[in-house]
Amino acid sequence: MSRRKHVNPVLSSTLLSTCLCMPAALTHGQALEEVIVTAEKREQSIQDVPISIIALNEEALEMQQIDELDDLGSAVPNLFVNNFNNDPVAVRLFIRGIGQNDLQLTQDPSVALYLDGVYIGTSFGAGFEGVDIERIEVLRGPQGTLYGRNATGGAINLITRRANTDALEFKQTFQAGNLGLFKSRTFLNVPLGDRFAAKLGYITTDRDGYVENQGVGEDFGTEERESTVIDLRYEASETLSFDYRYENAEINDTGRLEQAVVAGEEADLAPGVPDLSFLVTPGTVSTDRQDKVTSLWGNGPTDVEIEAHTLNAAWSLNDAITIRSISSWRDLDSFNITVVAPDWRANLTPTGGSISTGSSQIDFKQFSQELQLLGSWDQLELAAGLYYYEDEGSHDSQATTSLGLPPPAFDFTETENETLAVYAQATWTPEALQSRWHFTAGARYSQDDRKAFRLNTRSEEFAASAPDGAFYKNDFSNFNPSFTVAYDLSDDSNLYAKVVSGYKSGGTSTRSANAALFRSGFEEEDVVSYELGYKGDFLNNRLRLNTAVFYMDIDGLQTSLQTGGTPGERDFLPIDGNTIKGFEAEFTAALSDAWQASFNYGYTETELGESEVQTPVATFSLTDEMSYVPENSFTVALDYRQPLRNGQLHGRVGYAYKDEALTSVNTTDNVNIDDYALVDASLSWGDVQLGSLPGTFQIMLWGKNLADEEYAIISTAAWGFVGANVVSTFGDPRTYGVSLSYDY
């Protein structure tokens, strides 16, 4: 699993030659579509935003079958997405190597996730399926000024379709595929007078598991989801409008299979960790993705419910100034069952039982309020705001067991956080410099108050030093400035240079077995990023090239390391002096009226600033690189569009590659996951009219991972102490299906 692999040189040279020769072939063709984004809190052309950004509109999401965050990982270079600890809706996001490896309620994510301008405060439950997503924007690099303390790696914006007063609209989509897939998606928009409209969205998904469980419980990798959205829009006047959104989602998926890939060899155990493999009867060991397993433990579905309310108000004071208010309340209840190597028997359990089983209950509530002031004058653009956020949550994991031993009496953590922030960003375009120079300065001040309580009888040391539990309380504040200079080389191309800072608040650990470390917690994480970018359209907008070169310094990297008697007992310890550097390029060409090609590439190189870290149990050696950051990643796609006498044909084939990557900075936990490539394709016949029936129809055939690549998305050596030296979770096998839509 640790063998180093590289991009195929023949493939790379072929792609490069194609890209170099392509401009000569662009003698005619339609202009590329202008992409509008809201990355800087206002509508702008993506070519004018000095950010390395990938935007996927509704058509792109449909053709690539991107329904949830998990699907984004193969679509965007320098973005890595996977699940955490067998939880199908706990999502880890890494951009340019910065992410949250060990998901906890007491640690902020490193990549900020926003839904219609509302920050999603925890990565637990973030794998929800989008009901009515209009566009996804992936902002690469720190976004500390406009997006706050939680965007050191970047930000992902999910933008939904709002209710509108223009017309009655209805869309129904049915989808069927292998693995017993059935999905129904319904939207209905109804104008109620000239100023009021209501929109209803409903989606239900059922899919069988990709691993058959011949033992106790359900198959692995099943999907059972249901979501309802109600949108209301009220246009009180020509200058004042309100949008209210209610969302309820219920998710009953089962986790992916965590299977033993390597066993029987001498494990590289952490100092002080005993070899307990004699207490285990090994089950299946396979480097191939298992199709069947006989679980000794009742594998069951998650029970996740998400309820959210959002109110957006926009008031245009005049042609230059707009005030916006975003109010949100969100409630997450999550129950998750985990089974590691489910057919490995723990000998201490006479009736059977896997080596690690259990369940966890997470309750999380958040409220946020943001006020924005947007101004636009001849030479000045302004975005300023006040932000308030609070959350409270609990994590109960007392039912988790290892080796079949009885669970502890208590393993429970409560959290409470509060954030205040003020920010402003202004762009000055002086007429005296022919309006070609753009100077942007921004700053954000954040104040974070964090509290937590933990009762842990799993650890004798914790229970002895804190018999009634331990309390954590700390305050953090940070000032994040940014500065950008952009220059228009022409009406269709520009250069930009920027310095941006980011900040992630400190906190403590819900898995701490050391009461003293829980009370002291960990400090903040700071990043400073330097970026030079170019964006340009050529040949009458038939060719587009966007590039960015970046370098980042990171101090206080919050690293999850073992601080108790087992690998699961962990705290966050800092690593200073870390660096990240890389390059990104986006190349799109309209080859003709029918054909369009794209090539997106990302290169990232990371270096840890320290070689070892001392913890209360041992000194841990560190890797040279950061985890879940492929050195090379790219996507290649070819689109074909052809008008027909009735409707339009649209075909797409895509190829996505990711280099190998580390899975932990701790050498005793780390396993290198191999590089992999995924091929997807889709073919749609849309805008079809059937006689005098109103509306249009569309039928689409689609397939993902068509080569049936077997690739690991998570691997760990943490279970080496019971003989399962490497445990891996694989991505989905080949999936395919057909979609039928009616649009009125």
Q: Which of 682, 686, 684 is nearest to 742 (CA)?
A: 686
Contact 353, 324 (CB under 8 A): no
The torsion angles phi and psi of 47, rounded to 5 degrees, stand at: -75, -15
How far is residue 405's CA from residue 37's CA, in Å, rounded to a whole number? 53
Q: What average pLDDT does the segment 458-467 reach?
A: 88
Tokens of 154: 């970047």
pLDDT digits 0-9 by tens, 308-326: 999 999 999 999 999 999 9
pLDDT for res 128: 67
Contact 73, 63 (CB under 8 A): no
Q: What is the mean pLDDT of the chain?
A: 91
pLDDT digits 0-9 by tens, 374-412: 999 999 999 999 999 999 999 998 777 778 777 777 889
Tokens of 217: 């419980």
Contact 366, 314 (CB under 8 A): no
- DSSP letters, 575-596, are E-SEEEEEEEEEEEEE-SSSEE
pLDDT digits 0-9 by tens, 403-450: 877 777 788 999 999 999 999 999 999 999 999 999 999 999 999 999
pLDDT of 192 > 50? The answer is yes
Pairing verdict, β 87-95 and 79-84: antiparallel
- DSSP letters, 516-574, are HHHHH-B--EEEEEEEEEEEEEETTTTEEEEEEEEEEEEESEEEEEE-SSSTT-EEEEE
3-state secondary structure of 72: helix
Contact 78, 94 (CB under 8 A): no
pLDDT above 70 covers what percent of the chain? Answer: 95
pLDDT for res 549: 98
pLDDT of 495 > 90? The answer is yes
pLDDT digits 0-9 by tens, 671-708: 999 999 999 999 999 999 999 999 999 999 999 999 99
Tokens of 200: 């209803």
pLDDT for res 11: 44
Q: What average pLDDT does the segment 539-558 reach?
A: 96
pLDDT digits 0-9 by tens, 89-142: 888 999 999 998 888 989 889 999 999 999 999 888 876 677 789 999 999 999
pLDDT of 566 > 80? The answer is no
pLDDT of 160 > 90? The answer is yes
pLDDT for res 10: 39
How far is residue 359's CA from residue 289's CA, in Å, rounded to a whole number? 25
The torsion angles phi and psi of 593, rounded to 5 degrees, stand at: -60, -25
Residue 431 carries which DSSP code?
G
Residue 279 carries which DSSP code?
G
Within 10 angstroms of residue 81's Cβ, the number of other Cβ atoms is 24
Pairing verdict, β 212-213 and 292-293: parallel
pLDDT of 3 > 50? The answer is no
How far is residue 460's CA from residue 513's CA, in Å, rounded to a whole number? 8
Q: Which of 297, 272, 148, 273 is nearest to 215 (CA)?
A: 297
Q: What average pLDDT does the segment 267-273 reach?
A: 74
* Confidence band of 78 (pLDDT split at 50, 70, 90): very high
Contact 66, 656 (CB under 8 A): no
Q: Which of 107, 85, 103, 84 is nearest to 415 (CA)?
A: 107
| pTM, to two decimals | 0.93
Q: Which of 186, 175, 280, 121 is nearest to 703 (CA)?
A: 175
Q: Which of 191, 130, 190, 189 is nearest to 156 (CA)?
A: 130
Q: Which of 444, 385, 450, 388 is nearest to 419 (CA)?
A: 388
pLDDT for res 275: 85
Contact 715, 673 (CB under 8 A): yes
3-state secondary structure of 401: strand
Contact 466, 412 (CB under 8 A): no
pLDDT of 15 > 50? The answer is no
pLDDT for res 125: 80
pLDDT digits 0-9 by tens, 341-386: 999 998 887 777 788 888 889 999 999 999 999 999 999 999 999 9
Q: Is the dihedral of CA 659, 663, 667, 669 positive or negative?
A: negative
For the chain, which domains are there? Answer: 9-743 (2.40.170.20)
pLDDT above 90 covers what percent of the chain? Answer: 76
Residues whose CB falls within 8 Å of the CB of residue 318, separated by 6 or more in sequence, listed in order: none
